[in-house]
Amino acid sequence: MTGERVVIIGGDAAGMSAVSRIRKFRPDAEIVALERTPWTSYSACGIPYLVGGVVDGGVARLVARSPEQHRQQGTDVRTGHEATAIDLAAREVAVRPLDGDRYRLGFDQLLIATGGTPIRPDLPGIDLPFIHGVQNLDDAAHLLDHAEGLADRCQRVVVVGSGYIGLEMAEAFVERGCSAVVVEQAAQPMGTLDPEMGALVATAMVAHGLDLRCGVAVTGFEPETVLTDDGPVDADLVVLGIGVAPNATLAAEAGLELGVKGAIHVDERQATSAPGVWAAGDCAESRHLITGRPVHIPLGTYANKQGRVAGINIGGGHAASAGVLGTAITKLCATEIARTGLGEAEAERAGFSVVAARIETTTTSGYFPAAAPMTVKVVAERGTGRLLGAQIVGGDGAAKRIDTCAVAIAAGMTVAQVVDLDLAYAPPFSSVWDPIAVAAREALKLL
């Protein structure tokens, strides 16, 4: 396989995580990465903190490895080059450079890592220039320019949707001194949480000065106005936070099989339906570790992991993606939020008979001055007692404990086994019975 050429479409986490693995297994491979934007290997998750001013230095600050750094390591990174078509029969990609003539690029193996795009609902006025999605660094630069251009006026920001990005962007604009209205169609924010946990987030949002309007649907946009079924809302700037759709058009047009939510269908090795063609990251499916079903959960961690797996397989090694639990974490000021596995309703929809226990405790020993409230909910399978999911809302130090549950779920542990875990305790860090163990014990009582 000397001289084999691997083409990667997309120069962010999934695409570039593959490179070092390919190089390890096939030092002689030619690797060409096509990237539309000027950026590679950046942290899109950092954009809200850039907007909020927590992180300074502009969008370049979020770049973990620049195109030039990749080139120094031997990767032919072509920024400003967009892949416009994949010809599976000819094994070629059609490329349109921003400057220069279109060309076709042959490949022996292809990794599609085209990412995702913020969902733009098909509503009147959706293309107005004051509406922003937040996904790549070009989006971020554009959003920052717009926000800074409004700096002299009273800024009224409307965030549509109240998932992780919606929450983080709303907080970011409040940090900038704007007023932020969050419009959410559901009865509670954070649809990835069960409703009563979402209600805790709602309380925190209001306490943090956000104008949260739940049960309100956006019906359209007009200049300086968001139209809703609850009346118009003034807006200088709108941020879309209602989810991310896979960028799978290229793959679909090439005839590759799509799967759940239109994401590129892949197997555990990140192989698509065509030989030698792989996909990883926000454009591709994952497999849920509990249900075994394909899911589309666009997270930076999965992009990195799937890129690594694809890279090993492209290089001729053997790796399989482990499956995902939808583990996610965020914060809204002093309130931390995390979830993993299946929520209560989600588990029931997946066909499990479940018990759910929710406990109120503190982040440290109760007598510690830093003790902050913390709520933990766990979901377990009736009968087996197997832990299926957990959600946490609480103060400083609360949310990263979700990892304890993520590991326990991955290991197939029962809540009885979770009660027995040897978790770390000292007064500044925890109550003597760790909150996770307390929640598991409550679930055990219900089983």
x/- letters, 137..176, toward a second copy (CB under 8 A): ---------------------------x------------
Residues 101-140 that bind a second copy (CB under 8 A): none
Please tell me whether residue 61 binds a second copy under the rule CB under 8 A.
yes
Please tell me whether residue 403 binds a second copy under the rule CB under 8 A.
yes
Q: How far is CA 90 from the centre of its chain?
A: 34
Nearest to 179 by CA among 217, 97, 234: 234
The answer to whether residue 405 is catalytic is no
CB of 336 to a second copy, least distance (A): 8
Please tell me whether residue 304 binds a second copy under the rule CB under 8 A.
yes
x/- letters, 366..385, toward a second copy (CB under 8 A): xxxx----------------
Please tell me whether residue 424 binds a second copy under the rule CB under 8 A.
yes
d(CA 83, CA 250): 8
d(CA 365, CA 219): 48
DSSP labels for 122-133?
--TTTT-TTEE-
Please tell me whether residue 89 binds a second copy under the rule CB under 8 A.
no
DSSP labels for 354-373?
EEEEEEEEESS-TTSTT--E
CB of 274 to a second copy, least distance (A): 26
Q: With respect to a second copy, which residue has the nearer C-beta, 89 or 424? A: 424
Please tell me whether residue 429 binds a second copy under the rule CB under 8 A.
yes
Q: Which of 325, 379, 415, 443 binds a second copy (CB under 8 A)?
A: 325
Q: Which amino acid is at 169?
A: M
Please tell me the count of residues contacting a second copy according to CB under 8 A: 65
x/- letters, 270..299, toward a second copy (CB under 8 A): -------------------x---------x
Q: Which two tokens stand for residue 138?
A: 């070009």
Q: Name the packing angle between helices 164-175 and 195-207 (round to 10°).
A: 10
CB of 99 to a second copy, least distance (A): 30
CB of 228 to a second copy, least distance (A): 29
Question: Which whole-number Å values give the CA distances from 281 to 17, 89, 149, 359, 381, in the listed order?
Answer: 10, 24, 33, 35, 30
Question: Which whole-number Å values give the CA distances from 418 to 99, 216, 386, 435, in the listed order?
Answer: 58, 40, 10, 11
DSSP labels for 201-246?
HHHHHHHTT-EEEET--EEEEETTEEEETT--EE-SEEEE-S-EEE
- Residue 52 phi, psi dihedral angles, 5° rounding: -75, -10
x/- letters, 6..25, toward a second copy (CB under 8 A): -------x------------
Please tell me whether residue 404 binds a second copy under the rule CB under 8 A.
yes
CB of 319 to a second copy, least distance (A): 10
Question: Which whole-number Å values give the CA distances from 77 to 31, 71, 256, in the listed order?
Answer: 8, 6, 25
CB-neighbour burial class of residue 310 (10 A; exposed 0-12, middle 13-18, buried 19+)? buried
Catalytic residue ranges: 45
Binding site for a second copy (CB under 8 A): 13, 43, 45-46, 49, 54-55, 57, 61-62, 64, 164, 289, 299-301, 304-305, 321-331, 338, 340, 365-369, 397, 399-404, 406-408, 410-411, 413, 417, 420-430, 432-434, 436
